[in-house]
Amino acid sequence: MIRELHNKLINKEITSVELTQQYFDAISKKDGDVHAYLTLTKEEALEQAKKVDEKISRGEEIGIIEGIPCAIKDNICIKNIRTTASSKILDNYIAPYDATVVEKIREAGAVILGKTNLDEFAMGSSTETSAYGATKNPYDNERVPGGTSGGSAAAVSADMAVWSLGSDTGGSIRQPASFCGVVGLKPTYGRVSRYGLMAMASSFDQIGPMTKTVEDTAIILSIISGKDNMDATSAPDFGKKYEDYLTGEIKGMKIGIVKEYLESLNKEMKTEMEKVIERYKKLGAEICEIELPNAKYALPTYYIIQPSEVSSNLARFDGIKYGMRADDKEKTNTADLGGLPRTLLETYLDTRKYNLGAEVKRRIMLGTYALSSGYYDAYYLRAQKVRTLIRKDFEKAFQKVDVILTPTTPTPAFKIGEKTQDPLQMYLEDIFTITANIAGIPAVSVPCGMIEWEGKQLPAGFQLMGKWFDEENLLCVAHAFEVNCTE
């Protein structure tokens, strides 16, 4: 899709301003229902589009994403633009700098349409914990788009952006991608700089592309990846062009499957997965059974380490350094204050009490508990040890296979409100995606068609996980399915 639009631009079949305007028209038409966007940056977008058009009319060459409209998740900083992470605590926060990924896509000439909705601070699986209201699934407005990058997924799915950026800590790119019928990649930990991504759980977080096709994901990855001096965990990628590896040829490649994963599925998802496996066999891949014996501990491991990192990372939102401060209407105990100014401690407490949502508070409390003296060894340290075991499972599996195929989610999109009262049900959404974050490996969700679910036709996706820093083979296998799936 990106390549097609790029060709239209250089052949002067459309201008970037026209293209950008078309997308804003689509947003005005559809986003009232979907609510994918929190902020639109129309003026800046049209200005950038105009610059690209001038370049084209001067006969200058343009890059592959130059002049093409995209959307950015609202936990990624764009200089001088409101960046809320969907939290009331950052309601008034204007980012003073560009995230490295934003700097890179700006250099590449992308047109940024706006910022997209997410679960508050990227905690959730449905975009319902946003302080600014839920995003709806474009296929069925009564259902969630998935989360936490639900706004980014819905924007691409409903043609309100050509591509978008999301972030993924436990599945937040892949799960919404599968619910909305788009491609979503969580790169290897370190493949993409996290500088300017609001830190949630720093040892899991990665930024990645959400697109209509695997080729588009490869194109975006080539632009945003690489070593960044501002992020010590980022790794060099030597200017790799991931799109060059999409040969369509996967004969002899070994694809691992986990029997228990498939057996745990409902009938509809299982049938879909079997079709995907058949397709890969036809394409000449070898399907091998593998074991991930410690994967069953992935969810509890994540839900100890992740809140621990959250409790530390979110300590900075205290009403002093960033964003909102509790105002005088918001007092824990009005009578106690008796007209006196708050103490510093009261400012901290009230600011956090009134401006953070329930899920965020729950994680901060869980994490604080897991890290507290006396419990640290029993919870946090033990979870870190299990994390190593899970990583070792993957090391072993990847001696045998090139990629691992799993479902992305246990079911298609669920209804709005269905899981909000039961955090554990919500956490179970991450069951297939979370291991990739724990091990740090790359993983992509690829659409595999529509399935009949609760009387509706809804998109389904499958997940491929790859070896560390082997996005080229991972995307090659994903792409081979995509280009052959209509046969």
Tell me which residues touch ligand GLN (CB under 6 A). Answer: 122-125, 148, 168-172, 306, 430
Residue whose CB is less far from ligand GLN, 20 or 311: 311
Residue whose CB is less far from ligand GLN, 6 or 194: 194
Least distance (Å) between residue 156 CB and ligand GLN = 17
Residue whose CB is less far from ligand GLN, 69 or 124: 124
E strands of 362-487, at which residues? Answer: 403-407, 443-453, 456-466
Other CB atoms within a 10 A radius of the CB of residue 27 amount to: 24
Residue whose CB is less far from ligand GLN, 20 or 301: 301
Least distance (Å) between residue 182 CB and ligand GLN = 16
254-257, strands of its sheet edge to edge? 37-40, 111-116, 69-73, 163-168, 206-211, 183-186, 443-453, 456-466, 403-407, 254-257, 286-289
Q: Identify the three-state secondary structure at position 121.
A: helix
Helices (H) and strands (E) in the chain, counts: 17, 11
Residue whose CB is less far from ligand GLN, 193 or 206: 206
* Token pair for 278: 């058949």
CA distance 172 to 409: 11
Residue whose CB is less far from ligand GLN, 62 or 356: 356
Burial class (CB in 10 A: 0-12, 13-18, 19+), 339: exposed
Other CB atoms within a 10 A radius of the CB of residue 203 amount to: 16
Residue whose CB is less far from ligand GLN, 17 or 207: 207
CA angle 205, 226, 7 (to 5 degrees): 105
Residue whose CB is less far from ligand GLN, 9 or 123: 123
Least distance (Å) between residue 424 CB and ligand GLN = 12
CA distance 244 to 400: 25
Least distance (Å) between residue 299 CB and ligand GLN = 10
Other CB atoms within a 10 A radius of the CB of residue 333 amount to: 9
Q: Of the candidates 459, 414, 438, 472, which has an alpha carbon nearest to the alpha carbon of residue 124?
A: 414
